[in-house]
Amino acid sequence: MHSHAQHTIHRNHGHYGWNNALPPHLTVAPGTSVEFEMRDASAGQLTPESDASAVPKIDLRYVNPVTGPISIDGAKPGDALKVTVLGFTPSGWGWTANIPGFGLLAEQFKEPALHHWKYDPGLGRPTLFGPGGRVPLRPFTGTIGVAPAEPGEHSIIPPRRVGGNMDVRDIAEGTELYLPVEVEGALFSVGDGHAAQGDGEVCGTAIETSMNVALKFELIKHANLRFPRFVTAGSPARHIDAKGYEVTTGIGPDLMQGARDAVSGMIDLLSRRYNYRPVDAYMLCSVCADLRISSIVDRPNWVVSVYFPLAVLA
């Protein structure tokens, strides 16, 4: 058990969809810390022995499993659940895949691809990728949230007002996350461990990995949050920004097309200059490049940029 945690929720105590009728595995008082064992996003459908042929066979009904739910004593609709990320225990193996039909450039990359990562569970060294890539690690939880008020089963894949599969890379150690509570007890669950990801997760996968996370729970009464918010512990990019960035842009009236153009430009640059296969450049962007809206006021055209950290290629 993580040294900060008072309880552990094991990986077999989980679910594949949000549903406020699920019974909690544990009820805790505000101020309690809990360690959660998280399975990887494929729920074990991909293993270290898998190759790219396994990717199209992934059963999407069983992706992004979350561990939980747990109930926080006294949580009521209109409150906010404050979740402090205390720390992670990563496994040392993960994967990144191009899944046909999924991702920002699905029309461009139609064939499956799979990359296996063996990384330092102590996070002391970058993990290697292709010809010279060295990706710094910064684990976080891709899916973290509470049950929605709407009854019935809801897909885990899209993010929601109550959190869920947000894939925000800055919900990392030290971050304080505030989630809107919509049901009695909040019914909190967490999963989708990532060892590293760029903002945007452009190919649809990060360094997907099983890991444990220790979290502390507190209640903010009558907060009436409309959407999640969070506070980071220091600079979100300090692990990758020391050597600067290569930046490509997309400019036009459609933000999604601008994002596609910016990412395609970075893939072209990495392929030409660093000899990456285009699909490998795409997956590498997903785990370490940041997609940003640089300008959104000068109608009719907006500017979207991709920042690729030069530290990865140093």
What are the domain boundaries of the chain? 7-231, 245-313
Query: 7-231 and 245-313 share one CATH topology?
Result: no
Give yes or no for a contact between 266 and 274, defined as CB atoms under 8 angstroms apart.
no
pTM: 0.95
Residue (of 236, 198, 16) closest to 96 by Cα position: 198
What pLDDT is recorded for position 2? 67
Residue-level pLDDT, tens digit, the chain, 314 residues: 565 789 999 999 999 999 999 999 999 999 999 999 999 999 999 999 999 999 999 999 999 999 999 999 999 999 999 999 999 999 999 999 999 999 999 999 999 999 999 999 888 889 999 888 999 999 999 999 999 999 999 999 999 999 999 999 999 999 999 999 999 999 999 999 999 999 999 999 999 999 999 999 999 999 999 999 999 998 878 788 889 999 999 999 999 999 999 999 999 999 999 999 999 999 999 999 999 999 999 999 999 999 999 999 97
Q: What is the DSSP string of 6-23?
A: SEEE-TTSEESEE-TTSP
CATH 2.60.120.580 corresponds to the domain 7-231 = yes
Strand extents, DSSP E, the chain: 7-9, 14-15, 17-18, 27-28, 33-38, 66-72, 80-98, 113-118, 127-129, 133-135, 140-146, 154-155, 163-164, 176-180, 188-194, 208-220, 229-231, 245-252, 290-295, 302-309
Q: Return the CATH class of domain 245-313.
A: alpha beta
Instruction: State the greatest distance between any 2 C-alpha atoms of the chain, in Å, as a whole number.
Output: 57
How many whole angstroms separate alpha carbon 82 and alpha carbon 84?
A: 7
